[in-house]
A and B are shown apart, each in its own frame.
Chain A
Amino acid sequence: GDSVTQMEGPVTLSEEAFLTINCTYTATGYPSLFWYVQYPGEGLQLLLKATKADDKGSNKGFEATYRKETTSFHLEKGSVQVSDSAVYFCALTGGGFKTIFGAGTRLFVKA
C-alpha cells in the first residue's frame, strides 16, 4: 500500500540556519503530495502542496519539489526562525480521499 517516510526528529537548528526535512513516498499512480505543519497545541494546517511531477510548492519561505524519479518531496527553507518551531508532516493522497501521513518531524529553532 501507499506509504510516506520522513526523517526522524527532532531537528534542532539555530535561527537563520538552512532547513531540509527529507520525505520519500511509495504510491501507485500519481499522488498529490503535501506538507502540513502543526504548531504546539493546534491542529495541522497546510503548508504547501504539489499535484504533479516537477511541481514546486512554496509558502512562507518553505519550498518542496515533487520528484517522481526519486519519489521524494523534501521540505527546505533558506533561513529558519524561532517561530518555525513545530512538527512537520509529509503526506500523500492517491486516488480517493484517504491521506497517508508520515510520522512527523519535530523542529526546534534556537534564538
Chain B
Amino acid sequence: DTAVSQTPKYLVTQMGNDKSIKCEQNLGHDTMYWYKQDSKKFLKIMFSYNNKELIINETVPNRFSPKSPDKAHLNLHINSLELGDSAVYFCASSQGRERDTQYFGPGTRLTVL
C-alpha cells in the first residue's frame, strides 16, 4: 500500500496553461506539505496544512493555490504556468505534532515548454 501518493508522476505542458497535482496519504496523518525541488536538488517548502487549516504559506507566486478537501488530500493548482515552474513537486505528510518525521510521495516532475 502506498503511503503518500501523487498524480500525475509526469506532467508536460505549455506555458500559460493551468494544471493540478493531486496528493493523497493513507497514514492517518493530520499535516500535509508541498515542496518544490529544483534541478540542483534544493528543496523548498511551499505550503502546509494541519487538519485542513493552512499553517505554512511561504513566499510563492499567488498563481499557486493549495486546496485541502479533507485531511487525507492536499492538491496543488497552478495557474498561468511559466518556464520557471519546471521542477519536481513533492507532497509529504506527518502525524501532526511539531517536529514529526515527514513521509514523502514519489514526486511529480513538471516540465513547462
Interface, chain A (partner B; CB < 8 A): 31-32, 34, 36, 38, 41-46, 49, 51, 87, 89, 93-99, 101, 103-104, 106
B41 touches A46 (CB 8 A): no
Interface stretch, picked from B12-20, B70-78, B94-102, is B94-102
* Complex contacts, A95 vs chain B, CB 8 Å: 98
21 sampled A-B residue pairs with Cβ under 8 A:
A34-B101, A42-B106, A43-B4, A43-B104, A43-B106, A44-B90, A44-B104, A46-B101, A46-B102, A87-B41, A95-B98, A96-B55, A96-B98, A97-B50, A97-B56, A97-B94, A97-B98, A99-B102, A103-B40, A103-B42, A104-B42
Q: How large is the interface on B (under 10, 10 to 19, 20 to 34, 35 or more residues)?
A: 20 to 34
Judge whether B68 is part of the interface by a CB distance below 8 angstroms: no
* Complex contacts, A34 vs chain B, CB 8 Å: 101
Q: Which of B42, B56, B94, B105 contacts A43 (CB 8 A)?
A: B105
A43 touches B90 (CB 8 A): yes
Please, how many angstroms separate the alpha-carbon atoms of A34 and B92 in the complex?
Answer: 15
B99 touches A93 (CB 8 A): yes
B56 touches A98 (CB 8 A): yes
In the A-B complex, list the 3 residue pairs whose CB atoms are closest, starting with the nearest: A43-B104, A32-B99, A104-B41
Known pairs A43-B107, A96-B98, A104-B42; list 11 more (Cβ under 8 Å): A34-B101, A38-B41, A41-B106, A43-B106, A44-B102, A45-B103, A89-B43, A97-B48, A98-B56, A99-B102, A104-B41
* Complex contacts, B4 vs chain A, CB 8 Å: 43
* Complex contacts, A87 vs chain B, CB 8 Å: 41
A97 touches B107 (CB 8 A): no
* Complex contacts, B98 vs chain A, CB 8 Å: 93, 95-97
A106 touches B101 (CB 8 A): no
Q: How far is the CB of A32 from chain B (nearest CB, A)?
A: 4
Q: How far is the CB of B27 from chain A (nearest CB, A)?
A: 13
Please, how many angstroms separate the alpha-carbon atoms of A98 and B49 in the complex?
Answer: 11
